[in-house]
Structure formats: C-alpha cells, structure tokens
Amino acid sequence: MPEIYAGIDVGSLCTKVVILDAGRNVLSSHILRSGGHYQGAAEAAFSGALESAGLRIKEISFLVSTGYGRARVTFSDTHVTEITCHARGAKHLFPHVHTVIDIGGQDSKVIYVNDEGRPKNFVMNDKCAAGTGRFLEVMAGALEVSLQEMAELSFHAQGESEVSNMCTVFAESEVISLLAQGTEKADIAAAIFRSIARRITGLVGKLGLKEPVVMTGGVAKNPGMVRALEEKLRTTLLIPPEPQIMGAYGAALIAAEQSD
C-alpha cells in the first residue's frame, strides 16, 4: 500500500487539512471554520479531506497536527508547532526562503529560516489579536464590507487617513470615528492595512529582514494586506498558491519525514 501522509492545522479561526502521497504531491485539502470545538473541527476537516481524496482513515500512514488546537487532535501521531510547520511548508515550495511571515487568525509570526531550511529564530505578536486575521475581520465588520471588498476598496484610496491604535477594540472605535467624520471607506481600508503592515514590520525588525520573504497564513490571500506589507517592507513577498494551508502542508511534509 502506498504511503499517504496528512497534516492538520487547527487554527484559532480555521482548521486546515492537507493529504500528500508518497511523492509529496497534494492529493486533497480542506478548510473549515474551527468554531469553539477544536476536536470536532479537526474530525470534520479530516473527513472532508479524506473524502475528496477518496481515502479512508486507515490508509493514512502518519498524521501530524499543528496550530492552536494541535494538542486537541487525539487521532494524530504527533504534534508540532505551526512555527516549524509553516517554515517547513514554505521551504519546500521556495527552497531559498530565509524569512516566513505567517499572519493567521489570532497570531502573527515572523520566522527566520537558516540555509538548511530549519527555523532558527522567531517572533510572535504579543497576547492581543492586533495585526492578525481576527483584527481584519473586526475592521471589515466595522466598515460593513467583506474582507475581499475591503482589499478592493484599499486600491482606490485617495486620502492619507491613519488608524494608529493597534488594540483591536480601540482601532474599531477609531474606524467608527473616521466614518463619523465622513472619511471615505477606501481610505480607511488602506489605513487599516497600513496599520497592520507597520506592526508586522516591527516584528520583522526584531529579527532583521532576510530575503527572500514568503508570506503564509490566511491573511496572505488578501491583496490589500500583501500590497501594504510589500510597500512597508520594501520587498516582494512570495505567496504560495494556497497560503492558508501552508501550516497543514508543512505538517504533512513533517509526517512524511517522520515516517521515513
């Protein structure tokens, strides 16, 4: 029976699953909202990925869980942090990568990858959700637009509004205040992305920017955020085809290595 490997990334907002064949090719992937029950989300996402690949659970040779709820995945063989997994996934797709910026639902991380492809240093955001996917969702809610619409809006910004508060609650008040002043939504959207870009640039500064830089995590799917970050960091970000599953992809790659 050919070896099949799986990675499950139980994030604070979404749970992602990737299934690989022996040649490290992606057989299937699945993404769903984690909700408040990590174990249930992991089971549902895993079932979804298995079904897409036409596989049964007993055909999985090795399963690695990662992400915020990694320890809640009782059916995994081992669990590894998302820091190592994102680095591993990014390294596989971009062999020369030195910096990985992962902006997920609740955490943002900057990971330095050495020449051998091992994560050698990392920084994470402090306890709060500022500068994360959750922050963007709250801001989109305040603007009453979808995340995609917020990104499109930001490309039409004319003015130079600023959102200075990095606390999600205060920043939301600031956005509402700007709306009350009659500031264009496009300008506010651009300001929100710039404010996150400033914060991530601060994290990058702690490690020092070493190119090439890969951006992973669900927030990398937002072109408004990517542009703001590229402008602030003055670099081009390499984005995987599906950045949100990079943690699960890295976990599956580690599963393959562990099984070797």
Partner 1 sequence: MEQTLNQIFNLVTDPYTGIAAWKERLQKKVVGCMPMHLPEELVHAAGLQPVVLWRSNEPVTLGHAHVYTFNCGLTRSVVDDAVKGKLAVLDGIITYDLCLQARELPFIINRNAPPAYLETVYIPGPVTAPVYKDFLLENFRNLKASLEKFSGQTMTQDALRQSIALYNRQRGLLRQLYALRRQTPGLIRAKEMLAIVQSGMLMPKEEHIPLLENLIAELPKRTVSSGKKARVVLSGCMCQTPRFDLLDLIEEEGMAVIDDEIYVGGRYFFHDVAETGDPLEALAERYLNRTIPCPTKVDWTNHWGDYLVDWVGQQKAQGVVTLLVKFCPPHLCYYPDVKKRLANANIPEVMLEVEHEVVSLEQVRTRLQAFVEEIR
In the complex, which residues of this chain contact partner 1 (CB under 8 A)?
Answer: 68, 80-84, 107, 118-122, 124, 126-127
Residue closer to partner 1 (CB basis): 82 or 174:
82
Question: What is the DSSP code string of 207-251?
Answer: H---SSEEEESGGGG-HHHHHHHHHHHTSPEE--SSGGGHHHHHH
In angstroms, what is the minimal distance from the CB of 183 to partner 1? 31
* Residue (81 or 235) nearer to partner 1, CB: 81
- Which is closer to partner 1, CB of 243 or CB of 247? 247
CA distance 176 to 168: 12
Provide the minimum distance between the beta carbon of 157 and partner 1 in the complex, in angstroms, as a whole number.
33
49 versus 254: smaller Cβ distance to partner 1: 254
Report in angstroms how near the CB of residue 71 gets to partner 1 at its nearest.
Answer: 8
Regarding beta strands 62-66 and 5-10, do their DSSP bridges make them parallel or antiparallel, or are they unpaired? Answer: parallel
**CA–CA distance, 174 with 157 (Å, rounded to integer):** 18
d(CA 157, CA 145): 15
Q: Backbone phi, then psi, for 234, in 5-degree steps?
A: 55, 50
The minimum distance between CB 225 and partner 1, in angstroms, equals 21
